[in-house]
Amino acid sequence: MTKLSVNINKIATIRNARGGNVPDVIKAAMNIERFGADGITVHPRPDQRHIRYQDVRELKKVVSTEFNVEGYPDKGFMDLVLEVLPHQVTLVPDPPNALTSNNGWDTIRNSDFLKEIVQELKSKGIRVSIFVNPDPIMVEAAVLTRTDRIELYTESYAAHYAHNKSNAIAPFILAAKKAEEVGLGLNAGHDLSLENLRFFSQEIPKLLEVSIGHALISDALYLGLENAVGMYKRELRP
């Protein structure tokens, strides 16, 4: 079954709005695992407006499932992940002021840069995933970086799902088939929700993992965190 990694950035956003340590992101991560999630994802940005670098250090001590750290590989980020050694690092091309991830890597133009970063991470035993758009050309070029996986950027699927889900999923099916053809593991994330997750997971071959944050944490406000995690897990069942 496709694994569910829960992005807890939004919990940190609420904490930071008031200062102090309420809600406690470490306790939340431990509860999310206890409720059945297969992993915890964080995306520390340079301004630390939600997840802080120290959060990443503290989370590594307690996360017992898969720990996935996303981010742009500048010096600060690389120093952090090489210190913490999470199970997986997902490389995203976000500029420092980005509100949220909004594009995948151009794996052709950035091939040499990414290859160097991937090599450094893998030398420390970290699995690497590269954030890409659903474009078979970019998927195929990702092989040259020697990444282990790609993560398909699913914003366009989510945006068009309600209008025509077959058209919305079509480019992702092509990209997923290309990933399987060239031997890359496949993750996906961004704006996946209870509304669109089941169809996506059923239509995409060999989907290993989804990373979901904003929708799941928002649903938890209405449903409770334990119920929300359980409901998302059920959507991923074959």
d(Cα 201, Cα 193) in Å, to the nearest integer? Answer: 11
Angle between helix axes 214-223 and 225-235 (nearest 10 degrees) is 130
Coil, strand or helix at 164: coil
Told to judge if 70 belongs to the known catalytic residues of this protein, a careful annotator would answer: yes
DSSP 101-156: ------TTTTHHHHHHHHHHHHTTT-EEEEEE-S-HHHHHHHGGGT-SEEEEE-HH
d(Cα 11, Cα 21) in Å, to the nearest integer? Answer: 11
Catalytic residue among 50, 66, 151, 190: 190
* The two structure tokens encoding residue 195: 């509304």
Catalytic residue among 33, 66, 70, 209: 70
Task: Write phi, then psi, for 173 (nearest 5 degrees).
Answer: -65, -45
Catalytic residue among 33, 43, 50, 66: 43
Length of the chain: 238
Which residues 6+ apart lie within 8 Å of 38 measured at CB?
3, 4, 5, 65, 66, 209
Give 66's strand partners: 39
Told to judge if 195 belongs to the known catalytic residues of this protein, a careful annotator would answer: no
The residues carrying an active-site annotation are 43, 70, 190
